[in-house]
Amino acid sequence: LICLQEAAKYEKKVMVLDFVTPTPLGNSWGLGGTCVNVGCIPKKLMHQAALLGQALQDSRKFGWQFTEEVEHNWMTMTESVQNYIGSLNWGYRVALREKKVTYENAYGEFVTPHTVKATNKKGVEKLYTAERFLIATGERPRYLGIPGDKEYCISSDDLFSLPYCPGKTLVVGASYVALECAGFLAGLGLDVTVMVRSILLRGFDQDMANKIGEYMEEHGIHFIREFVPIKVEQIEEGTPGRLKVIAKSTKENEIIEGEYNTVLLAIGRDACTRKIGLEKVGVKINEKTGKIPVNDEEQTNVPYIYAVGDILQDKLELTPVAIQAGRLLVQRLYAGATSKCDYVNVPTTVFTPLEYGACGYSEEAAVEKFGEENIEVYHSNFWPLEWTVPSRDNNKCYAKIICNIQDNERVIGFHVLGPNAGEVTQGFAAAIKCGLTKEQLDSTIGIHPVCAEV
């Protein structure tokens, strides 16, 4: 979307095709993509709902008084969230119209060079030609490929608009999607179990990942480790119904069974590149992952076809990265700019019950790249002031920075586990971009009393 609005600024004739293939359970949504509809936005709002549940408990210690029994109403929350998303969908439609970008709610696929066929919901086909094309079709959740998965399980595509409370939930997976969803569901008072095949948060600093898992476990989320589901059966229909999950150990021959109201699959996402006619125009994709390799100017192997976002090979699956890449691409194409997207030191945050913000190298990656003797890790636990009065965990929040001794003790990795991790991390990311060293960090005065000063 960013590309389109930017290109239209330069008086180019621009068109966008957006189409949402319904989920196996029939769910669909409006303009805006994953982030707006089934990602960042609803996720953060539901995370906020869970945090507010905690705030309610804290507030009693700060003198607030109200009834002992406080319950959460899933429908009230979901309606509010969906209404807000609806306003964003609408906002995008209006913005595209104002910027004179032609929008069609149709499924696009290449048919011949420079030509795309657009099929709308009713099956009506139209052909469009263009000088240049941008593929930004993103991804969709992966299914397990076991009996009962598509019939009875939901994914994040369904969760944020689920028209009934999910109840006792099994989350399958250990990705940030799995942990974030498990986190807020538990925060809303639901009985949550997470089934993990091997490690948590693959690709993230494992020291931090384990602390996140520990915290979640200590706060009531059950973890079943080293098991994978092999079958899902329906015991009883309903909203929610009752499901039986049979799982097998990854190590021995053990089989276990469990009963849940909802099974949420969060085992990964697949790029939407297999059915859009890429072979017809010669765009190469990675056959195994479905992702599209591009050069540092987001160009595919076909010169007039570009790609941005989650479908790119070896790039981070993050909204701000997609936006930045898209905007700079258009500025290079139509405004004579030369800036390329800087994919180094991109900060990110996992919105688990104890939030995790990071920028730069994980400890393992730093050790591998520079050698253990060449890096110094400075770390500290901290106790947010706001947690003192309500007697919340006094040794769980944690921060560490990784420095490259050979390069003036330059800060090459930043990790923080604590409240408002995203807000804390953002500024540090900017500082790291400016080449922050340990000495400069030490000479910067802290703001008191906040978590970030640690």
Partner 1 sequence: GKNEYDLLVIGGGSGGLACAKEAAQFGRKVAILDYVEPSPQGTKWGLGGTCVNVGCIPKKLMHQAALLGSALKDAQHYGWNIAQPVHHTWSVMAQAVQNYVKSLNWGHRVQLQDKKVKYFNMKGSFSDPHTIRGLTKAGKETIVTAENIVIATGGRPKYPTHIAGALEYGITSDDLFWLKESPGKTLVWDVSLECAGFLTGVGLDTTVMMRSIPLRGFDQNKQFFSPTQQQMASLVTEHMESYGTKFLKRCFPIKVEKLESNRLRVTWKNTDLGTEEADSFNTVMWAVGRAPDTETLNLEAVGVKTNSETGKIIVDASEATSVPHIYAVGDITEGRPELTPTAIAAGKLLARRLFGHSSEMMDYDNVPTTVFTPLEYGCVGLSEEAAVQCYGSDNIEVYHAYYKPLEFTVAERDATQCYMKMVCLRESEQRILGLHFIGPNAGEVIQGFALGIKCGATYPQLMKTIGIHPTCAEEITKLHITKRSGLDATVTGC
Q: Which of 272, 318, 377, 405 binds partner 1 (CB under 8 A)?
A: 318
Q: Which residues pair with 92 in a beta bridge?
A: none
Residue closer to partner 1 by CB (options 80, 129) is 80
Hunting for tokens 């931090």 — which residue is that? 208
Residue closer to partner 1 by CB (options 89, 115) is 89
Cβ–Cβ < 8 Å for 108, 116: yes
The piece of 103-111, 121-129, 282-290, 425-433 that touches partner 1 (CB under 8 A) is 425-433
Distance CA 403, CA 213 (A): 26
Binding-site residue positions: 44, 108, 173-180, 268, 310
Distance CA 418, CA 395 (A): 11
Residue closer to partner 1 by CB (options 98, 125) is 98
Q: Which of 25, 222, 422, 438 binds partner 1 (CB under 8 A)?
A: 422
| Buried/exposed code over 262-292 (b: 16+ C-beta within 10 A; e: otherwise) | bbbbbbebbbbbeebbbeebebebeeeebbb
Q: Which of 26, 123, 303, 446 binds partner 1 (CB under 8 A)?
A: 446
Phi, psi of 150 (to 5 degrees): -75, -25
Beta-sheet pairing, 102-104 with 106-112 = unpaired
Distance CA 319, CA 36 (A): 10
- The yes or no reply on residue 252 touching partner 1 (CB under 8 A) is no
Q: How far is the CB of 78 from partner 1 (least distance, A)?
A: 8
The piece of 70-78, 117-125, 201-209, 392-400 that touches partner 1 (CB under 8 A) is 70-78
- The yes or no reply on residue 304 touching partner 1 (CB under 8 A) is no
DSSP SS3 for 280: helix
Site residues for partner 1, 349-388, by CB under 8 A, read 349, 357, 385-386, 388
Site residues for partner 1, 214-233, by CB under 8 A, read none
Cβ–Cβ < 8 Å for 264, 153: yes
Q: How far is the CB of 179 from partner 1 (least distance, A)?
A: 17
Q: Which of 29, 92, 107, 306 binds partner 1 (CB under 8 A)?
A: 92
Residue closer to partner 1 by CB (options 233, 386) is 386
**Total site size for partner 1, rule CB under 8 A:** 84
Q: How far is the CB of 396 from partner 1 (least distance, A)?
A: 17
The piece of 61-69, 118-126, 363-371, 374-382 that touches partner 1 (CB under 8 A) is 61-69
Beta-carbon neighbour count of residue 321 at 10 Å?
20
Q: Is position 448 annotated as part of the catalytic site?
A: yes
Q: What own/partner pairs with CB < 8 Å and gap ≥ 24 does 333-339 have?
A: 333/7, 333/132, 334/7, 334/10, 334/12, 335/10
Q: Which of 4, 20, 36, 245 binds partner 1 (CB under 8 A)?
A: 36
Site residues for partner 1, 165-194, by CB under 8 A, read 188
Q: How far is the CB of 199 from partner 1 (least distance, A)?
A: 24
- The yes or no reply on residue 321 touching partner 1 (CB under 8 A) is yes
Residue closer to partner 1 by CB (options 250, 339) is 339
Q: Which residues pair with 382 in a beta bridge?
A: 397
Binding-site residue positions for NAD(+): 173-180, 268
String marking each residue 95-134 x if it binds partner 1 according to CB under 8 A: x---------------------------------------
Task: Tell me how far CA of residue 371 lies from CA of 360, 376, 404, in angstroms.
Answer: 16, 10, 10
Distance CA 427, CA 452 (A): 10
Instruction: Write out the two tokens for 188.
Output: 């809303």
Site residues for partner 1, 330-349, by CB under 8 A, read 339, 342, 345-349
Whether residue 384 has a cis bond before it, omega within 30° of 0? no
Give the CB-side neighbour count of residue 224, counting CA atoms within 13 A. Answer: 23
Distance CA 116, CA 114 (A): 7
- The yes or no reply on residue 392 touching partner 1 (CB under 8 A) is no
Residue closer to partner 1 by CB (options 75, 235) is 75
- The yes or no reply on residue 75 touching partner 1 (CB under 8 A) is yes
Instruction: Write out the two tokens for 40.
Output: 């960042």
Q: Is 312 exposed, middle or buried (0-12, 13-18, 19+ CB in 10 A)?
A: buried
- The yes or no reply on residue 297 touching partner 1 (CB under 8 A) is no
- The yes or no reply on residue 452 touching partner 1 (CB under 8 A) is yes
Residue closer to partner 1 by CB (options 279, 439) is 439
Binding-site residue positions for FAD: 44, 108, 310
Distance CA 167, CA 424 (A): 33
Active-site residues: which are they?
448
